[in-house]
């Protein structure tokens, strides 16, 4: 892992279906992009979000390229399986390394 440092306090609620993300304390009732119910939102790991920011520093938060990369990272890191959905207590971000479903 690179020298990741936290850059945001808020949760990064991310839609598993389309990659839409926003910062905030609570997930939205429905995804404004694909209309998935709020249980489709997960707390996206900030160290993965940091990779997206680095790859697309000139693009907006929910630019198509950023959402696409988010979807790829979620699949690559098994985020949708190892991270709890909205309404549940979230594990620490470091828990991703101990996930048995995380392919080595
Ligand atoms: Zn969505």
The answer as to whether 90 is a domain residue is no
| Domain membership flag for residue 72 | yes
Domain assignment present for 48: yes
pTM above 0.75, yes or no: no
Cα 4 → chain centroid:
15
| Centroid of ligand 1 to alpha carbon of 10 (angstroms) | 19
Domain for residue 2, yes or no? no
Predicted local confidence at residue 98, as pLDDT: 45
Q: How big is the chain, counted in residues?
A: 104
Q: Is 77 inside a domain boundary?
A: yes
* Cα-Cα-Cα-Cα dihedral sign, residues 87, 96, 14, 46: positive
Label residue 50 exposed, middle or buried (CB < 10 Å: 0-12, 13-18, 19+). middle
pLDDT digits (tens, 9 = 90+) for 27-73: 789 999 999 998 899 889 999 999 999 999 999 989 999 999 999 99
Number of domains within the chain: 1
Distance from the alpha carbon of residue 54 to the mean position of ligand 1, in angstroms: 23
* pLDDT (average), residues 77-88: 65
- pLDDT, residue 78, reads 87
Question: Within a domain: residue 104?
Answer: no
Q: Assess whether pLDDT exceeds 70 at residue 97.
A: no
For residue 15, the CA-to-ligand 1 centroid distance in Å is 5
Q: Does residue 58 form part of some domain?
A: yes
Q: Is residue 4 part of a domain?
A: no
Q: Helix 46-55 and helix 64-77: axis angle, to 10°?
A: 140
Domain membership of residue 47 as a residue range: 11-85
Confidence class for position 1, pLDDT limits 50, 70, 90 = very low
Predicted confidence at residue 11, as pLDDT, reads 85
């Amino acid at each position: 892992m690179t020298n990741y440092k936290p850059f945001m306090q808020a949760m990064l609620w991310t839609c598993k279906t389309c990659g839409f993300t926003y910062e905030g304390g609570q997930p939205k009732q429905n995804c404004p992009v694909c209309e998935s119910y709020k249980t489709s939102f997960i707390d996206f790991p900030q160290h993965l979000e940091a990779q997206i920011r680095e790859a697309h520093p000139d693009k907006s938060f929910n630019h198509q390229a950023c959402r696409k990369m988010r979807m790829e990272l979620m699949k690559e890191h098994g985020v949708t399986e190892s991270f709890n959905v909205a309404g549940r207590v979230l594990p620490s971000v470091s828990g991703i390394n101990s996930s048995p479903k995380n392919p080595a």
